[in-house]
């Protein structure tokens, strides 16, 4: 699924102050770069504090501008670099952390309970 520049800006604005946004870029080879975001506020402003400005080109999100001497400039991000995907920290645990243990417990209890009409073997005398 291609990413959208507007959605990326919204995600950047919604993250907590200490959170960073990890972007996977394609140039010169695919690599992960964690972008430290500025203080809470709008997503575009938070990305700009790291020296990034984005643009949408069809289905691709590219870096439009990199501020000189910024964090983005020091990590060798350049205008025209395509952002392939984005990873953002989650603020709540996955539903799997709840469903999996509950399901395992239910299965264990079902196997432990004797079945109706099933007799245990008589112990030898």
**Residue-wise pLDDT tens digits, 26-59:** 877 888 988 888 888 888 898 998 899 999 999 8
Q: What is the pTM of this model?
A: 0.65
**Spatial distance between the Cα atoms of 54 and 61, rounded to a whole number of angstroms:** 7
Give one word for 68, left, alpha or beta, with left for phi > 0 and alpha for psi -120 to 50: beta
Instruction: Write down the pLDDT at residue 2.
Output: 65
* pLDDT digits 0-9 by tens, 54-89: 999 998 899 999 999 998 899 888 999 999 888 887
Does a structural domain hold residue 108?
no
Instruction: Write down the pLDDT at residue 89.
Output: 78
Does a structural domain hold residue 38?
yes
- Structural domain boundaries, residue 66: 5-87
Residue 101 CA: distances (Å) to CA of 69, 111, 112, 114: 49, 15, 16, 22
* Total domain count, the chain: 1
Question: Do 34 and 21 touch, CB atoms closer than 8 A?
Answer: yes
Distance of CA 80 to the CA centre of its chain: 23
């Amino acid at each position: 699924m291609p990413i959208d520049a507007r959605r990326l800006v919204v995600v950047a604005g919604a993250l907590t102050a200490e959170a960073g946004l990890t972007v996977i870029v394609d140039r010169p080879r695919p690599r992960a770069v964690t972008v430290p975001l500025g203080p809470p506020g709008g997503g575009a402003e938070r990305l700009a504090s790291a020296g990034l400005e984005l643009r949408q080109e069809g289905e691709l999100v590219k870096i439009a501008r990199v501020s000189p001497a910024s964090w983005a400039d020091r990590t060798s991000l350049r205008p025209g670099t395509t952002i392939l995907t984005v990873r953002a920290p989650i603020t709540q645990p996955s539903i799997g952390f709840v469903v999996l243990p509950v399901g395992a417990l239910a299965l264990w209890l079902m196997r432990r309970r004797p079945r109706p009409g099933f007799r245990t073997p008589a112990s030898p005398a």
